[in-house]
Amino acid sequence: MVNPLPTGAAGLPDPEGDVNIPAEAVPAPPVRLLLVDDEPGLRTAVKAYLEDEGFLVTTANDGEEGWTTAQTLLPDVVITDVMMPRCDGYGLLKRLRGDERLGGTPVIFLTAKGMTADRIAGFQAGADDYIPKPFDPDELVARVRNVVRRQDRLLVEAARFADADIGAMAKQITEIRSMLGTGGVKKAAPDVKLDFTPREASVLQLVAEGMMNKEIARRLETSIRNVEKYVSRLFIKTGTASRTELVRYSLEHGLVD
């Protein structure tokens, strides 16, 4: 097998060679799925079907194994049964949502429970989708692709704001601080209560200092993709739609220095 060449920007020479590689010629990496189910037959069949559809699938026998696997795999989507020994789907979901690296990972519940009350409980717990058994495998594939597209839209939106000119952004932040009369002085305490993780709070502070995603990633020693996820979650939690709105909101409510 010939190793694929490293790729640079579309239409530009590759940094490791002199071959021009258009962006459309570079295949997207396969979506990494974590399938968690205690039924061996169903687990094997669903894994085979999803792999035939081009997904990269890793399996786990129950929520406890799923949690251990998720921490190393960092999957793009988790598909999990609800009723399992040791750790059920709700327990796994709670652990995922409480982890800074995995909190934004889409989770699809796959379960024999199909009553409306059970679906509502799943959504209230933070699941992104809910498919009762028995199910059509094509529907599962469609739902997986749908949550992947939804996640990608959030990341693209975050990246769009991250591409803003840093000089203009710094100027806007200075103007916002001046208008609010903060002068960079820290407020005694926030006047709103938002459930930020420690990493989200760190990202918010650096955004308020005018840093772009690449700089934040370097400062926090994480990936740009992770920073984009944190910024997207900050938009959602604060009800803002741009970095400027996010900074203004945070300054107005004493969420940053």
The tens digit of pLDDT for each residue in 43-73 reads 999 999 999 999 999 999 999 999 999 999 9
> pLDDT band at residue 167, thresholds of 50, 70 and 90?
low
Partners of residue 57 on adjacent β-strands = 33
pLDDT over 50 (residue 216): yes
Q: Parallel, antiparallel, or unpaired: how do β-strands 107-111 and 129-132 relate?
A: parallel
User: What pLDDT is attached to residue 9?
Assistant: 39
Which pTM does this prediction carry?
0.57
Which segment, 76-80, 96-100, 162-166, 253-257, is predicted with the most confidence on average? 76-80
Partners of residue 33 on adjacent β-strands = 57, 77
Average of per-residue pLDDT across 166-175: 60
Average of per-residue pLDDT across 210-221: 84
> pLDDT band at residue 25, thresholds of 50, 70 and 90?
very low
User: What pLDDT is attached to residue 118?
Assistant: 75
User: What pLDDT is attached to residue 16?
Assistant: 37
User: What pLDDT is attached to residue 187?
Assistant: 47
User: What pLDDT is attached to residue 245?
Assistant: 83
Of 25-29, 41-45, 109-113, 196-200, which range is least confident? 25-29
DSSP E strand boundaries for the chain: 32-36, 56-60, 77-80, 107-111, 129-132
Average pLDDT of the chain is 78
Average of per-residue pLDDT across 108-134: 82
Average of per-residue pLDDT across 128-143: 90
Report, in this order, helix, strand and coil percent for the chain, each rounded to 5. Answer: 50, 10, 40
Percentage of the chain modeled with pLDDT above 90: 28
Residue 30 tokens, joined? 């396969």
pLDDT over 70 (residue 180): no
